């Protein structure tokens, strides 16, 4: 059966983001807490997250890797900022640019087929993310927008946080270009939540920034070491922290390593007091991104007793846990940290 690009990217096949405010999982999570295996792990993870929310001294960091954003969880992550459940974000460039900012510009992800003819998809400029499609032509428009933002900035060295804030400013100041209000990048700008992408160029942003460097002698450059220093500044200014880690990879290592960084570069800060990770990674190959928190404790990164590894697929687990937190409503009494203000002093 031949494929047609228009049919593949049909509006009836748009991936819809789950709305945690409309789906109450409270009873499900409470029931899972009395079960075993991954169900009980998930229930305990929700309980630990609730402790983070209720701890008045704890700042919460969301670590985000993988493609769950394109699969329908992007609004969940944005709502975590909207409803004051997270104070800083560390993510892959793809999650922030190719998924969130991409959607904010009016582009969409579509339900696809893992058994599709990939050569035919490539010929039609349709990119596949497992069972999800995106339009390569729209990806190129996203790249051009990143170049446009870079061109508007004074040449120099920036952290990814600084550049992503400019992306949020762009959406706020150009409402005609902001097609989907309430994106993660926009809300982070509005609520002064810093976003770090330590491997920022490993995304559509990389193409856009290369274009800026090719065209301008005084170009924009992203410094991942500055990212690390700024995240250390967040830790120095907050001291007590909890982490909610989706996937693994560079964001997870970056978030955990900051504890050791503060010890080696200035005043040593406490290990992360709370820690949750949702992953399907196997730890037997020794990969750092899939290491357990028990292993991380040997490195002095995470405190034990309030940690939980949940081995399961994140698009199933994230909505369950975060909907529970939303409907428990403890976030309503929580003070906003506005940690981005650290960098304006």
| Residues tagged active-site | 301
- Structural contact between residues 302 and 271, judged by C-beta atoms closer than 8 angstroms: yes
- Structural contact between residues 241 and 273, judged by C-beta atoms closer than 8 angstroms: yes
Gap between the Cα atoms of 107 and 110, Å rounded? 10
Burial environment of residue 240 by CB neighbours within 10 A (0 to 12, 13 to 18, 19 or more): middle
> Which residue carries 């981005």 as its tokens?
340
- Structural contact between residues 68 and 75, judged by C-beta atoms closer than 8 angstroms: no
Gap between the Cα atoms of 45 and 52, Å rounded? 11
Question: How far apart, in Å, are the Cα atoms of 260 and each of 236, 253, 315?
Answer: 12, 11, 31
Strands (E), the chain: 59-64, 88-91, 110-111, 126-129, 132-135, 156-158, 195-196, 220-222, 241-246, 274-279, 307-311
> Which residue carries 């009873």 as its tokens?
27
């Amino acid at each position: 059966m031949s494929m047609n690009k228009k049919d593949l990217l049909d509006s009836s096949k748009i991936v819809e983001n789950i709305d945690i405010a409309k789906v109450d999982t409270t009873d499900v999570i409470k029931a899972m807490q009395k079960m075993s295996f991954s169900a009980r792990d998930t229930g305990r993870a929700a309980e630990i997250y609730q402790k983070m929310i209720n701890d008045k001294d704890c700042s919460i960091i969301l670590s985000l890797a993988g493609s769950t954003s394109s699969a329908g969880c992007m609004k969940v992550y944005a709502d975590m900022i909207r409803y004051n459940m997270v104070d800083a974000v560390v993510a892959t460039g793809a999650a922030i640019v190719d998924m969130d900012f991409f959607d904010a510009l009016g582009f969409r992800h579509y339900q696809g087929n893992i058994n599709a003819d990939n050569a035919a998809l490539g010929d039609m400029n349709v990119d596949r993310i497992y069972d999800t499609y995106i339009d390569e032509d729209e990806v190129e428009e996203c790249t051009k927008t990143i170049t446009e933002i870079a061109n508007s900035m004074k040449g120099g060295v920036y952290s990814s946080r600084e550049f992503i804030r400019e992306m949020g400013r762009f959406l706020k100041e150009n409402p005609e270009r902001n097609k989907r209000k309430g994106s993660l990048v926009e809300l982070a700008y509005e609520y002064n939540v810093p976003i770090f992408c330590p491997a920022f160029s490993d995304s559509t942003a990389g193409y856009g920034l290369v274009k800026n460097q090719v065209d301008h002698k005084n170009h924009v450059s992203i410094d991942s070491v500055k990212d690390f220093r700024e995240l250390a500044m967040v830790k120095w200014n907050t001291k007590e922290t909890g982490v909610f880690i989706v996937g693994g990879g560079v964001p997870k290592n970056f978030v955990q390593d900051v504890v050791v960084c503060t010890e080696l570069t200035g005043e040593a800060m406490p290990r992360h007091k709370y820690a949750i990770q949702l992953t399907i990674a196997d730890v037997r190959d020794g990969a750092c991104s899939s290491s357990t928190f028990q292993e991380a404790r040997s490195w002095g990164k995470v405190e034990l007793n309030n940690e939980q590894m949940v081995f399961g697929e994140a698009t199933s687990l994230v909505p369950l846990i975060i909907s529970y937190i939303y409907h428990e409503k403890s976030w309503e009494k929580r003070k906003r940290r506005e940690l981005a203000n650290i960098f304006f002093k």
